[in-house]
């Protein structure tokens, strides 16, 4: 059996006093792709953010383990350095900080050593080519004035460079046209080969391009159904009402 | 983290001091006799002595400003200040001849190294006077004059007599009066017609003694169609008693000339920094003040431009960082005194750990000056709940043809920005440092690269331990 990367047990999470996650259980091994689907407000993004350690999300019950280690012991930056990565639904704008500077510093932090100049440039150029990103991206300010698609590409570029062991992709497909979606999917597939991958999405269309091993349906803060890729198709077709016991 | 960075965490890295060796040291305190003694010691012509004495009398009569930070201003004890201290008998042209202690200090500050790599000339002032001075031969051959002000007075008294105090009369304010009375050191820079000085020239001001008063006087004249970039830096040891730095800087840009004046002010937090800087821009001339204030206890400084000739342009980019116990009261003043003149003002400030930053600006367009354009952008970033930022803009617009834009913002670092950066491996402090560097980027990109890197490093260190 492949290495266990993420294990979530009976996770309850509240935001500003409101309980959002109500007992989530999920285990992901290296090389597996999991997709979580659900309506707006089901708790999907909360799950991604709490795993990465967003301070606004409070764990009230249950635990998260990364490679067997309880995550509450790790600060956000330590999670990143340990190989965790979150592709944000809404990446923050950092005015005045050039993408090139940001990437270099980020890679330096995560790898715990400054990448060699020439080797890094080569790596960067090749990753950018793969994502059809122009070199001019590097001198723009991080996410400042970026279109939705540009932001998502920058997220995937970071993922390619940081080579995470756990990739959390929060609605990475939203706002992308079909060409961009293909490019982004290619990036995800490349990383997914050797990492655990959790894809959060509303739509089936990304899952046509990135084949999930497991699909989970989330309703009202819990996973109510787990299946293979066929579940995604069924959800796309039938919606969520048939799974919603509270409806 | 490098060892070097480790050494300076939570500490002002230029706070070291040398033994106080002096060849001449005046007793503390100020009187007309002190003023006359300074002039006599420098063997000045009578007209300069007269201006000094008039200025001193004006200083005594003039009340303290009733704006800015009155509490701190009124705590200045003018009788505890040393007004003149000579630490070396000669201004040397070789670092080898500079006394060892002083030379080591400037080595630690990186001045000789910078000089070799990328500067066209250097003046290094230590206490009251320049201890070292040099200019590249090729510039000298082109007729560029770059001297410390005392030597300038000896060699070119006529030029100095013609321009001294014409941009900033001693009666301008209490501290311009004080400076005119007791000035010593500073730079005298003249660029002949049509000459472009490609490499920046630099002046570095170092205070070493306790309770020191440094009063340099700088005069820069760029003749028609010439251009120059002048850079100044300054530091001082950290003492528990206060020092006073009160400079006067006058710039004159003749028709079509361009002067850029860049400052990275990093005094220790026991220094009062009360400086008057003003420029005159004649027809089609450009003045650029690039003004960074990181250190000091209280800074009150508002680089000004008088746009006197048609088509003249002013650019003022300033940043201020106010940390614990600091008040940066800074800004810009632009006077549109002729038609079709333009100005651009960008001011950025950061307040942290109870520090206070204030933007104080004046934009004036006279009734007869038509077709003027100006844009002002003021952004303040506050890093915690107990620091402060204020804005005091004044506009006096004398006619309706002026095209004006004014934007102002006050913001805090968002938790989303911090979380985003930390999720990319940055510690909280490093994330804050990156955000702060980005905020100041419109300023740092205007500095010579070496300065920009240094400033970024400085700001990152300032962010160490800024959270929690």
Asked if pLDDT for residue B466 goes beyond 70, the answer is no
C-alpha distances out from residue B328 to B112, B357, B468, Å: 30, 5, 24
User: In chain B, what residues touch A80 (CB-CB under 8 Å)?
Assistant: 422-425
User: In chain A, what residues touch B421 (CB-CB under 8 Å)?
Assistant: 92, 94
State the Cα–Cα distance between residues B271 and A221, nearest whole angstrom: 58
C-alpha distances out from residue B123 to A66, B30, B115, B134, Å: 59, 27, 10, 7
The pLDDT assigned to B5 comes to: 34
Alpha helices (runs of H) in B28-173, residue ranges in sequence order: 32-41, 46-61, 70-73, 100-108, 111-118, 137-141, 149-155, 157-163
Examine residue B316 and state whether it is found in any structural domain, yes or no: no
Asked if pLDDT for residue B11 goes beyond 70, the answer is no
Does A77 contact B426 at a Cβ distance shorter than 8 Å? Answer: yes
Mean pLDDT of chain B: 92
CA triple B297-B109-B293, angle to 5 deg: 30
* B110-119, B162-171, B412-421: the lowest-pLDDT one: B110-119
C-alpha distances out from residue A121 to A103, B58, B200, Å: 11, 63, 32
Q: Which of residues 130-189 of A touch B (CB under 8 A)?
A: 141-142, 158, 162
Q: Is pTM, for the whole model, over 0.90? A: no
CA triple B173-B174-B179, angle to 5 deg: 100
Backbone angles phi, psi at B443, to 5 degrees: -85, -50
SS3 content of chain B, % helix, strand, coil (to 5): 25, 35, 35
CB B262 within 8 A of CB B287: no
Q: Residue B2 — very low, low, confident or very high, per pLDDT cuts 50/70/90? A: very low
Nearest CA-CA partner of B201 in B183, B226, B180: B226
Q: Residue A229 has which token pair?
A: 């890729």
The DSSP output letter for B94 is: S
Asked if pLDDT for residue B200 goes beyond 90, the answer is yes
Select from A96, A103, A109 the residue whose CB has the most chain B CBs within 10 Å, as the one to mutate to test that interface: A96
For residues B192-213, average pLDDT:
95
Does B424 contact A88 at a Cβ distance shorter than 8 Å? Answer: no
Asked if pLDDT for residue A88 goes beyond 90, the answer is yes
CATH match for A4-243 among 3.40.50.1820, 3.40.50.10490, 3.40.50.300, 3.20.20.60: 3.40.50.300
Residue B268 CB coordination number (10 Å): 19
The pLDDT assigned to A243 comes to: 86
Examine residue B420 and state whether it is found in any structural domain, yes or no: yes
Examine residue B382 and state whether it is found in any structural domain, yes or no: no
CB B18 within 8 A of CB B101: yes
Q: What is the pLDDT of residues B379-396, one digit of tens each?
A: 999 998 899 999 999 999
The pLDDT assigned to A203 comes to: 84
User: In chain A, what residues touch B430 (CB-CB under 8 Å)?
Assistant: 105, 109
Question: Closest chain A residue to B444 measured between Cα atoms?
Answer: A96
For residues A154-166, average pLDDT:
96
* A72-81, B109-118, B133-142, B392-401: the lowest-pLDDT one: B109-118
State the Cα–Cα distance between residues B171 and B6, nearest whole angstrom: 47
User: In chain A, what residues touch B417 (CB-CB under 8 Å)?
Assistant: 92-94
SS (H, E, C) A79-97: HHHCCEEEECCCCCCEEEE
Q: Residue B465 — very low, low, confident or very high, per pLDDT cuts 50/70/90? A: low
For residues A38-48, average pLDDT:
93
Q: What is the pLDDT of residues A32-41, one digit of tens each?
A: 999 999 998 8
State the pairing for strand pair B213-214/B243-245: parallel
Question: Which of B246, B276, B301 is where one domain is finished?
Answer: B301
The pLDDT assigned to B463 comes to: 76
For residues A10-26, average pLDDT:
96
Asked if pLDDT for residue B468 goes beyond 60, the answer is no
Asked if pLDDT for residue A220 goes beyond 60, the answer is yes
Q: What is the pLDDT of residues A168-210, one digit of tens each?
A: 999 998 888 888 899 999 999 999 999 999 999 988 889 999 9
Question: Which of B240, B266, B301 is where one domain is finished?
Answer: B301
Q: Residue A245 — very low, low, confident or very high, per pLDDT cuts 50/70/90? A: confident
Nearest CA-CA partner of B170 in B64, B249, B52: B52
Question: Which of B253, B269, B301 is where one domain is finished?
Answer: B301
Q: What is the pLDDT of residues B61-106, one digit of tens each?
A: 999 999 999 999 999 999 999 999 999 889 999 999 999 999 999 9
Q: What is the pLDDT of residues B441-454, one digit of tens each?
A: 988 888 888 778 77
CB B200 within 8 A of CB B210: no
ipTM of the complex model: 0.96
Q: Are residues B170 and B295 in the same domain?
A: yes
> Is residue B421 less than 8 Å (CB to CB) from chain A?
yes
CB A70 within 8 A of CB A138: no
Number of folded domains in chain B?
2
State the Cα–Cα distance between residues B240 and A199, nearest whole angstrom: 58
For residues B298-306, average pLDDT:
97
Select from B438, B446, B447, B457 the residue whose CB has the most chain A CBs within 10 Å, as the one to mutate to test that interface: B438
Host domain of residue B260:
7-301
CB B289 within 8 A of CB B315: yes
Q: Are residues B273 and B131 in the same domain?
A: yes
* Sequence spans of domains, chain A: 4-243
Query: Where is pLDDT greater, at B454 or B436?
Result: B436
Examine residue B395 and state whether it is found in any structural domain, yes or no: no
């Amino acid at each position: 059996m492949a290495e266990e990367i993420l294990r979530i047990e009976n996770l309850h999470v509240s935001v500003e006093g409101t309980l959002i996650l109500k007992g989530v259980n999920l285990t992901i091994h290296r090389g597996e792709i999991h997709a979580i689907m659900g309506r707006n407000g089901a708790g999907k993004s909360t799950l991604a953010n709490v795993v990465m350690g967003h301070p606004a999300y409070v764990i009230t019950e249950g635990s998260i383990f990364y490679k067997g280690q309880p995550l509450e012991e790790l600060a956000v930056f330590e999670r990143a350095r340990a190989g965790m990565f979150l592709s944000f639904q809404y990446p923050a704008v950092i005015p005045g900080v050039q993408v090139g500077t940001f990437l270099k510093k980020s890679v330096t932090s995560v790898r715990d050593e400054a990448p060699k100049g020439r080797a890094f440039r080569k790596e960067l150029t090749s990753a950018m080519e793969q994502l059809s990103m122009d070199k001019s991206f590097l001198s723009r300010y991080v996410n400042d004035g970026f279109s939705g698609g540009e932001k998502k590409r920058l997220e995937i570029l970071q993922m390619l460079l940081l080579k995470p062991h756990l990739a959390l992709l929060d609605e990475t497909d939203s706002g992308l046209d079909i060409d961009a979606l293909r490019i982004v999917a290619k990036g995800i597939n490349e990383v997914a080969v050797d990492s655990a991958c959790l894809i959060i999405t509303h739509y089936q269309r990304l899952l046509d391009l990135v084949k999930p091993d497991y699909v989970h349906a989330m309703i009202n803060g819990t996973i109510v159904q787990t299946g293979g890729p066929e579940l995604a198709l069924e959800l796309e077709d039938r919606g969520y009402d048939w799974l919603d016991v509270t409806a | 983290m490098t060892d070097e960075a480790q050494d300076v965490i939570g500490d002002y890295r230029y706070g070291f001091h040398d033994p106080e060796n002096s060849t001449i040291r005046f007793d503390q305190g100020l009187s007309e006799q002190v003023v006359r003694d300074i002039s006599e010691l420098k063997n000045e012509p009578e007209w300069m002595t007269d201006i000094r004495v008039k200025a001193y009398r004006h200083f005594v009569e003039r009340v303290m400003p009733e704006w800015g930070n009155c509490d701190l201003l009124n705590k200045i004890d003018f009788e505890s200040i040393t007004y003149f201290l000579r630490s070396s008998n000669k201004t040397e042209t070789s670092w080898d001849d500079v006394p060892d202690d002083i030379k080591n200090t400037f080595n630690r500050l990186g001045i000789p190294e910078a000089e070799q790599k990328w500067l066209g000339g250097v003046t290094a002032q230590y206490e009251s006077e320049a201890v070292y001075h040099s200019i590249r031969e090729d510039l000298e051959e082109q007729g560029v004059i770059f001297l410390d002000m005392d030597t300038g007075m000896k060699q070119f008294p006529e030029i100095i007599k013609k321009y001294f105090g014409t941009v900033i009369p001693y009666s301008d304010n209490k501290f311009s009066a004080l400076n005119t009375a007791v000035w010593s050191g500073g730079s005298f820079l003249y660029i002949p017609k049509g000459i472009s000085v490609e490499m920046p020239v630099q002046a570095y001001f170092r205070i070493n003694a306790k309770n020191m008063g440094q009063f340099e006087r700088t005069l820069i004249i760029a003749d028609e169609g010439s251009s120059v970039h002048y850079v100044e830096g300054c530091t001082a040891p950290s003492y528990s008693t206060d020092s006073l730095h009160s400079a006067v800087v006058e710039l004159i840009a003749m028709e079509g000339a361009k002067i850029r004046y860049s400052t990275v002010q990093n005094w220790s937090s026991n220094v009062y920094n009360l400086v008057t800087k003003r420029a005159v821009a004649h027809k089609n001339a450009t003045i650029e003040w690039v003004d960074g204030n990181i250190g000091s206890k209280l800074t009150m400084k508002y680089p000004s431009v008088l746009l006197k000739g048609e088509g003249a342009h002013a650019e003022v980019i300033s940043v201020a960082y106010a940390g614990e116990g600091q008040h940066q009261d800074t800004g810009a003043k632009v006077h549109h005194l002729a038609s079709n003149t333009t100005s651009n003002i960008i001011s950025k400030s950061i307040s942290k750990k109870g520090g206070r930053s204030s933007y104080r600006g004046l934009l004036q367009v006279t009734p007869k000056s038509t077709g003027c354009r100006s844009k002002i952008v003021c952004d303040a970033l506050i890093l915690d709940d107990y620091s402060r930022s204020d804005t005091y803009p004044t506009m006096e617009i004398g006619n309706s043809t002026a095209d004006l834009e004014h934007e102002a913002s006050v913001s805090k670092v968002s938790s989303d920005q911090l979380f985003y950066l930390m999720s990319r491996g940055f510690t909280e402090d490093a994330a804050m440092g990156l955000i702060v560097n980005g905020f100041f980027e419109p300023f740092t990109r205007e500095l010579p690269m070496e300065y920009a890197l240094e400033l970024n490093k400085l700001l990152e260190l300032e962010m160490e331990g800024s959270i929690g």
